[in-house]
Amino acid sequence: MHPNAQAVQRALEALGVTSRVLELSESTRTSVEAASAIGTTVAQIAKSLVFRAGDEPVLVIASGPNRVSMEKVGRHLGCALARAQAGEVRDATGFPIGGVPPVGHQSPLRTLMDEDLFHYDQVWAAAGTPHAVFPITPQELARISGAEVMDLKEDGKE
């Protein structure tokens, strides 16, 4: 197993999660690729996106097809929101874009989670590489990530 995927598996175990990281030959870099590789719907992909809220990195876990509303999230956080650059993502999480997991980061990140993920019994999250994922319930994902659950998608997007 890739060292990043191993690190995510260890983080899950430390948090009491029984899910196992799966490494796939197909790419899981995007929500569409992940859904195709896993055999699930795009909406069940819990994509991890890193933004900058002022000078602080913030992790947003969104349902695959949803676009994050910068306005809603910025208003919730009380400051301007910007997309983090690839280097900032790696510095904040220790993982590359396309493989950022919801847990196991170099240091804790404030985390927001899309309420739409709660429409499903199981969702899939990245596990440290663009070829690794793990299944989890939305409730457990919110618990282990310490996420604040909210409506964070752009209006009119489903």
Q: What is the pLDDT along the chain (158 residues), one digit of tens a residue?
A: 999 999 999 999 999 999 999 999 998 888 999 999 999 999 999 999 999 998 899 999 999 999 999 999 999 999 999 999 999 999 999 999 889 999 999 888 999 999 999 999 999 999 999 999 999 999 999 999 999 999 999 986 54
CA distances to 9, 27, 97, 100 from 86, rounded to whole Å, are 23, 18, 6, 11
pTM of the predicted model, to two decimals?
0.93
Q: Residue 12 is encoded by which pair of tokens?
A: 């899950």
